Chain A
């Protein structure tokens, strides 16, 4: 099934160079064949280092996920780095307030490419139960691109593990070359996003139009 998925998404012919019979014979003899892309993605997805960035209640479930009962270490994500320079995954766990939003974007800018964001909990996706707040940012995806959203308030540790596996599958599907390669493999797309400033009544600007546009089918009509 993995092979089929890769064939469906890949436009490269390199994966079809060796047929399956030969590949399995070689594996039995102890010779392992793969593509550079697969190896690169395998290494990356199994050693994602999260940034230690818990904001609110969801942070406690994130800590619980990394504890002995639901072990996040088996996915390679045991080391929660304190510094953004050493991390490649930012799990935004908790409510992002407008006072905190510039800091979140700054931290995202400081992370080296390739970097991923998981928005954990209802508050990080869209403001959550505190949506009607003057200080609550209605979703972190207004300023930075988010890869995986986890609904829940707070999401169970199993949900965070599922999100982690979803992110791993997403990384697996990324290509090194070709027109659909991700941002970190392109030289023309910037990886830094503008940091909002504190205005007199609200953040300035209220959202980043390149990252997020309000969906047109929103609400009940």
Chain B
């Protein structure tokens, strides 16, 4: 009845490792202040020489009780807090929350707002994946240079966001039933210019790194994740698709207007760190495709549902669960309303938190240096893990 897939595997200490030269196991605590843990994340690692025997992640160092604040704030008042969940991708967080409340209250989103949402979400995905590539390579030892290239591109995207929403990172742009404000006059031309220039950068980045022998040696065969374990452990996003499971919520749920765009979903074969890196690189290209199509087809029109009320918003009592394909995985919001201006229960389903479940499984038997790479390839953001 209970399959063994859901149990945590244990690394067996082979007799060769106890040949008299190695002594006791070494227990170290990596973090919470550590150059490679992507934030305040701690791992209690037990080592046999250089090989990992046990790994327990410890977090909660950034627990800012976002869910409790959600219960004491109005529905719209929680929107700026969703920016700070996954602080790289604030616009997709906003969209997930707006989608959930639109499901709860039965609001409809006009066409132009849907196109704007898709454009901003794909821009967010591009800048998130390029930053991940930069950080992963920094963890591998390329100290700073790929990150400099990545941040140079990211600054272009942030300029677009700033001219649209007024803020570089914490955009607070989506509203229930649409978007907050319309596009500035020449924003579309700037976005098209970015979409035209990005492929050149992408090719340059790929050409510099794809056949780099250090990258290949450190990532191929490292941190292998099997598809059944990935599905059972609730892994979503590029990490799941690198194992070969074809599950992209943009194709499954077809939320928004994603069914109008032609794009492919890249899948990996082995589920190792290299596949995750390459899946993200290819996803950037597909995002660019969606971006081009959306920029070509965006119509004119209103940007907010006329039925939506900003003030005095009290949806009927009930609950709703809405989810989107955020750059890190499946980001879901579960909101229970009891007819009052504040939610009764406000829950965030964070992709990074769930993806960390199998960190130990992937790291057992690896060298301590690989732990850093594997953690980097999961792509976690502590604001989301701890909320």
User: What DSSP secondary structure best describes chain B's contact surface?
Assistant: loop
Question: Which residue of B35, B63, B169 contacts A135 across the interface (Cβ within 8 Å)?
Answer: B63
Residues of B within 8 A of A129 (CB): 80-81, 84
**Residue of A whose beta carbon sits closest to that of B88:** A60
Chain B residues 6-64 with CB under 8 Å of chain A are: 32-35, 39-40, 60-64
Q: Are A99 and B61 in contact (CB under 8 A)?
A: yes
Q: What are the 6 closest A-B residue pairs judged by CB atoms, nearest first?
A: A57-B87, A67-B151, A82-B35, A130-B64, A100-B61, A133-B65
The docked-state distance in angstroms from the alpha carbon of A107 to that of B35 is 14
Q: Are B169 and A60 in contact (CB under 8 A)?
A: yes
Q: Does A136 contact B (CB under 8 A)?
A: yes
Interface-lining segment among A31-39, A48-56, A182-190: A48-56
Q: Are A67 and B170 in contact (CB under 8 A)?
A: no
Q: Does B72 contact A (CB under 8 A)?
A: yes
Q: Are A133 and B148 in contact (CB under 8 A)?
A: no
Question: Which residue of B69, B87, B148 contacts A56 across the interface (Cβ within 8 Å)?
Answer: B87
A129 to chain B, nearest CB (A): 7
Q: Are B61 and A97 in contact (CB under 8 A)?
A: yes
Q: Are B80 and A56 in contact (CB under 8 A)?
A: no
User: Chain B 283-316 against A: per-residue CB contact (8 Å), 1 yes, 0 no?
Assistant: 0000000000000000000000000000000000
Question: Which residue of B34, B64, B87, B152 contacts A67 across the interface (Cβ within 8 Å)?
Answer: B152
Q: Does A94 contact B (CB under 8 A)?
A: yes
Residues of B within 8 A of A171 (CB): none
User: Chain A 130-162 against B: per-residue CB contact (8 Å), 1 yes, 0 no?
Assistant: 101111100000000000000001101000000
Residues of B within 8 A of A100 (CB): 32, 40, 61-62
Q: Are A97 and B84 in contact (CB under 8 A)?
A: no
**Residue of A whose beta carbon sits closest to that of B59:** A99
Residues of B within 8 A of A4 (CB): none
Q: Does B375 contact A (CB under 8 A)?
A: no
Q: Does B383 contact A (CB under 8 A)?
A: yes
Interface centre among B35, B40, B66, B152 (most CB of A within 10 A): B40
Residues of B within 8 A of A166 (CB): none
B311 to chain A, nearest CB (A): 21
User: Chain A 52-68 against B: per-residue CB contact (8 Å), 1 yes, 0 no?
Assistant: 11111101110110011
Interface centre among A61, A80, A129, A134 (most CB of B within 10 A): A129
Residues of A within 8 A of B155 (CB): 64, 67, 69
Total inter-chain residue pairs, C-beta < 8 Å: 89
Residues of B within 8 A of A7 (CB): none
The docked-state distance in angstroms from the alpha carbon of A127 to that of B170 is 17
**Residue of A whose beta carbon sits closest to that of B155:** A69
Residues of B within 8 A of A126 (CB): none
Interface centre among A52, A57, A59 (most CB of B within 10 A): A57
Interface centre among A67, A68, A133 (most CB of B within 10 A): A67
Q: Does A103 contact B (CB under 8 A)?
A: yes
Chain A residues 186-214 with CB under 8 Å of chain B are: none
The docked-state distance in angstroms from the alpha carbon of A52 to that of B36 is 10
New A-B contacts (5) at CB < 8 Å, excluding given A54-B39, A57-B84, A80-B35:
A55-B39, A69-B151, A82-B34, A99-B63, A134-B65
Residues of B within 8 A of A103 (CB): 32-33, 61
The docked-state distance in angstroms from the alpha carbon of A81 to that of B383 is 23
Q: Does A41 contact B (CB under 8 A)?
A: no
**Residue of B whose beta carbon sits closest to that of A156:** B168
Residues of A within 8 A of B35 (CB): 52, 80, 82
Residues of A within 8 A of B147 (CB): 63, 67
Chain A residues 98-121 with CB under 8 Å of chain B are: 99-100, 103, 107
The docked-state distance in angstroms from the alpha carbon of A111 to that of B236 is 41
Residues of B within 8 A of A60 (CB): 87-88, 169
Interface centre among B32, B64, B68, B155 (most CB of A within 10 A): B64
User: Chain B 136-163 against A: per-residue CB contact (8 Å), 1 yes, 0 no?
Assistant: 0000000000011001101100000000
Q: Does B121 contact A (CB under 8 A)?
A: no
Q: Are B383 and A133 in contact (CB under 8 A)?
A: no
Chain B residues 152-193 with CB under 8 Å of chain A are: 152, 154-155, 168-170
A153 to chain B, nearest CB (A): 7
Q: Does B362 contact A (CB under 8 A)?
A: no
Question: Which residue of A57, A68, A136, A156 contacts B152 across the interface (Cβ within 8 Å)?
Answer: A68
Residues of B within 8 A of A130 (CB): 64-66, 69
Q: Are A55 and B40 in contact (CB under 8 A)?
A: yes
The docked-state distance in angstroms from the alpha carbon of A54 to that of B382 is 11
Q: Are A136 and B65 in contact (CB under 8 A)?
A: yes
A85 to chain B, nearest CB (A): 12
Chain A residues 67-97 with CB under 8 Å of chain B are: 67-69, 80, 82, 84, 94-95, 97
Asked, given contacts A97-B62, A130-B65, whether A56 binds B383 with beta carbons under 8 Å apart, the answer is yes
Residues of A within 8 A of B80 (CB): 129
Question: Which residue of B62, B151, B168, B170 contacts A55 across the interface (Cβ within 8 Å)?
Answer: B62
Asked, given contacts A64-B155, A68-B151, whether A56 binds B169 with beta carbons under 8 Å apart, the answer is no
The docked-state distance in angstroms from the alpha carbon of A75 to that of B382 is 29
Q: Are B84 and A67 in contact (CB under 8 A)?
A: no
Residues of A within 8 A of B383 (CB): 56-57
Residues of A within 8 A of B69 (CB): 130, 132-133
In the assembled complex, 12 residue pairs joining A and B whose CB atoms fall closer than 8 Å, in A order, are A55-B39, A55-B40, A56-B87, A60-B87, A60-B169, A95-B62, A100-B40, A107-B33, A129-B81, A132-B69, A133-B65, A153-B170
The docked-state distance in angstroms from the alpha carbon of A154 to that of B88 is 12
Q: Are A154 and B64 in contact (CB under 8 A)?
A: no
